[in-house]
Amino acid sequence: MPPAIIAPSVLASDFGQLSAECKRMIKNGAEWLHMGKHFVPNITMGAPVLACISKGVPEIFMDCHMMVSEPEKWVADIANAGGALYCFHREATEDPLSLIRKVHDHGMKAGIAISPDTPSSAISDQVGNEADMLLVMTVYPGKGGQKFIERCLPKVEELRARFPEKDIEVDGGVGPSTIDQCAHAGSNVIVAGTAVFGAEDPEKVIATLRASVNAAQEKFAQERRK
């Protein structure tokens, strides 16, 4: 499996201090920052905000989760604003392969996401192999305060079985109480919002999330050696 990556969601940050908040997370051990946009025709927290963050924190790896209609429309804007990974929803496009290639042509990594009611089979072998990351949402897009949906975890397991070396991300309701389930299902990229940004000791929370992924990976490695 690929290494553990902790990606705090900036939607849980103090919007008045976005650059400082991103720097705080990096200082506390985060590898990526995660920025999500909801399923709407247009986006509010989009390229202009990302450009400001990228200017203030040039070393940032911004994982842009594009929960938008017509995701092909925003590739160039996000790339020009400093996006590092462009993750679109399988439900929002009929031609994921062309979109993955467009994202790559703009110098970004490409991710493909599925919502809770979408089966993992919606990501074909070809699409999964061409993408750089696969995202399983564990809450419904665009609705805050939802509880973690445990029934999504078998999709993580199925994708990990098909793509053993691929980055697999979970997003939604993830924190210290749910990380073990996500890690042992096979996720290595962990998005957490208030669990990290709202913590008294975010460094400790990030370390806890990473330790769970590392422990799960060691278990997988031992099983393969048998």
Q: For residue 72, what is the domain's CATH number?
A: 3.20.20.70
Q: Which two tokens stand for residue 136?
A: 């399983």
Residue 39: predicted pLDDT: 43
Task: Look at the chain and report how many structural domains it folds into.
Answer: 1
* 195 sits in which H/E element: helix 194-197
**In a 3-state reduction of DSSP, which class is residue 49?**
helix
CA–CA separation, 51 and 41 (whole Å): 20
In terms of residue numbers, what domain contains 149? 5-225
Q: pLDDT for 209-225, tens place per residue?
A: 999 999 999 988 888 87
Pairing of strands 109-114, 133-137: parallel
Q: Which two tokens stand for residue 78?
A: 């996000």
Residue 223: predicted pLDDT: 82
CA–CA separation, 37 and 44 (whole Å): 8
| Per-residue pLDDT tens listing for the chain (226 residues) | 899 999 999 988 888 898 999 999 999 999 999 988 654 444 445 787 888 888 889 889 999 999 988 999 999 999 999 999 999 999 999 999 999 999 999 999 999 999 999 999 999 999 999 999 999 999 998 766 679 999 999 999 999 999 999 999 999 999 999 999 999 999 999 999 999 999 999 999 999 999 999 999 998 888 887 7
C-alpha neighbours within 13 Å on the C-beta side of residue 108 = 29
This prediction has a pTM of 0.93
Q: Where do runs of H (alpha helix) occur along the chain?
A: 18-27, 47-56, 75-81, 96-105, 125-130, 153-162, 179-185, 194-197, 202-225
CA–CA separation, 105 and 98 (whole Å): 10
